[in-house]
A and B are shown apart, each in its own frame.
Chain A
Amino acid sequence: MGQTISEKILARASGKERVKPGDIVTCKVDMAMMHDSSGPRVAGRRLDEIGVPVWDMDRLVVITDHYVGYDTDESRAIQELCDDWCKSHGVKHYIRQEGICHIVLPQHGHVKPGTFCVGADSHSTTAGAFGAFMVGIGATEMTGVLATGEIWVRVPENVRMEVTGALKPGVAAKDVILKICGDHGIMGFGYQVVEFSGDGVAAMSAQDRMTLTNMAAEIGAKTGIIAPDAKTAALLAEWGVPGVNPDDWQSDPDAGYVKRLTVDGDALAPQVAAPHSPENADDVTAYRNVKLGQAYLGACTGAKLEDLRMAAEVVKGRKVASGTRFLVAPSSVRMREQAAKEGTLKILEDAGAQILQSGCGGCIGLGAARLDDGMTGISSTNRNFVGRAGPAGTKLYLASPYTVAASAIAGEIADPRDML
């Protein structure tokens, strides 16, 4: 029997000919990423406590994104600690305030197909869109990686999730993954790796695919992965990794999957997940007339350049409803610059959007996009658990950039297909 791309990567990383689900193997880490919240102030301090150096500075990337741009003593102290630790330890790849880690990481050329990577953040699964096997780990576990360059892994089962057909205008990767959340639940694929494939995925842009693997974290998966193709190679080349040959990292035709599932891309309507779980997803039409105080385009999930373009397509020539604030925090500084240059940002601003600094911000209830007490919001982020984006009394709906933009215009949850 052949092997999946994930099994090939884990076999290589653990120095074995092949691995099978259930094997517990020790893998060498090709790249480790940590941010200002979990990194130096937790994992870094603990490494110092052990008293050993970072195993390989070429393989460590530190990114600040969680506590950036909030003028509070706590945030400043966290940033200073991060700066000091990176400086005193000679961190080679330290990326400060350039945007959200899961976007900045590939955008700065640190994600390569076929690599085994770890990140001290649950959405580290995002890198799977480039054919890397990347998992989220906790901070102490990161300490172990920093010290040894290794980690134990239980080889997961593989699920093949095929998106058939082509998505209709106004429907995006976010709708596909919300649909999967709704159908299978937030622990639907506990400890499995979900490999996304099919015509629907092939037709998506390489950037939009990142939304699928990002939210693999919301279906309980160990990670999500997508075999690279020519689009992946082109985007990676643009982001500093030239010469990727997609043929090197494909699942074998006779590889073993525990389940083969399909999402009907042709029939998919825009999805909205009601409070307080991504699994409360349903067609947008089920949630019409929900009045909104805020619409937020942000996070590693939903404010990439292409997400901003989707929103601009909807709001072009329209105005945000009075009584609703429309906040946009582009996922990275580079993407914000690109959006400014091509005019996308102007379209959003002309419609009444307020552009915020790039960082986690509203996704974790920090900064200007924190929901006011009692407020109902819609957002292109990935989680709507109680108390995540604002006080416990707030309500948050999750949707695609198209739907968030359409809802900002309508002042209530709206179907973007009516505005395109």
Chain B
Amino acid sequence: MIQKGKAWKFGANIDTDLIAPIQALKREKPEEGYVHCLQDVDPDFAKNCRTGDIFVAEENLGIGSSREWAPHYLRLCGIRLLLAKSYARIFYRNCFNLALPALVCAETHRISAGDELEVDPLKGEVRNLTKGESYTCDTVPEHLMRIVADGGLLEHLKKKFKKAS
């Protein structure tokens, strides 16, 4: 489950209203709203984000509304892994439920926008290939990684109910 990608760097207190603005949610097909993702912070984010990129932030990532569109939009933009110093609890759970591992890393301030990163969530290792540094991050509870491995809570439940029937 090693994830290699380019870092997008954001600061502290990135809230879910910023990640999934209301204009986006109002659409009849809200899944198309990801083009508005973080537009008030970085208007080019949704356009330039590539599949496999890594989202790096400082404290309190995902505070505010429980809207699950927030991690969903990050995923639709291409983000496959998050690194932050701390998360809001609903957002944290939502990320794993949508198969987006959210890792707690105390050293995200050392990462700059555009750095090439290689992250091993099981070992709790972050390698910064651009800067030649490495950082540690918290390991993830096993039951959460099972959900990620299944492709998210929905797929996890489908599997579970299929087994049961």
Contact = CB atoms under 8 A, between A and B. Distances in A.
A138 B68 contact: yes
5 contacts: A50-B161, A75-B26, A277-B13, A385-B17, A387-B40
A336 interface: no
Interface in A54-79: 67, 72-75, 77-78
A138 B157 contact: no
Interface string B114-158: 000000000000000000000000000101000000001110011
Interface string B96-111: 0110000000000000
Binding site secondary structure of chain A:
loop
- The 9 closest A-B CB pairs, nearest first, are A138-B94, A122-B66, A138-B68, A140-B97, A392-B40, A139-B68, A388-B17, A385-B17, A187-B60
Interface string A125-144: 00000000000111111011
Given A38-B66, A187-B88, A386 B17 contact: yes
A121 B66 contact: yes
A220 B68 contact: no
A385 B67 contact: no
Given A50-B158, A140-B153, A122 B97 contact: no
A198 B89 CA distance: 27
A247 interface: no
Contact of B93 (A42, A137, A143, A387): A137
Contacts of B65: 122, 383
A50 B157 contact: yes
B22 A187 contact: no
Contacts of A152: 143
Contact of A136 (B26, B90, B98, B154): B90
Interface residues of A, number: 46
A322 to B, nearest CB: 30
B90 A122 contact: yes
Interface residues of B, number: 35
A418 interface: no
A365 B22 contact: yes
Interface in B56-105: 59-60, 63-68, 86, 88-90, 93-94, 97-98
A238 B66 CA distance: 30
A24 B143 CA distance: 10
A152 B27 CA distance: 32
Contacts, number: 106
Given A122-B65, A388-B22, 8 more contacts: A138-B93, A140-B94, A143-B157, A186-B13, A187-B86, A366-B22, A386-B17, A387-B17
A341 B67 CA distance: 36
Interface of B: 13, 15, 17-18, 21-22, 25-28, 40, 59-60, 63-68, 86, 88-90, 93-94, 97-98, 141, 143, 152-154, 157-158, 161
A37 interface: yes
Nearest to A142: B68
Contacts of B97: 138, 140-141, 144
A46 B89 contact: no
Contacts of A191: 89
A155 to B, nearest CB: 13
Contacts of B17: 383, 385-388
B25 to A, nearest CB: 7
Contacts of B68: 38, 42, 138-140
A190 B84 CA distance: 15
B86 to A, nearest CB: 7
Nearest to A382: B64
Contact of B66 (A137, A143, A277): A137
B40 A144 contact: no
A222 B26 CA distance: 28
Contact of A220 (B21, B26, B63, B141): B63
Interface string A315-357: 0000000000000000000000000000000000000000000
Contacts of A392: 40
A364 interface: yes
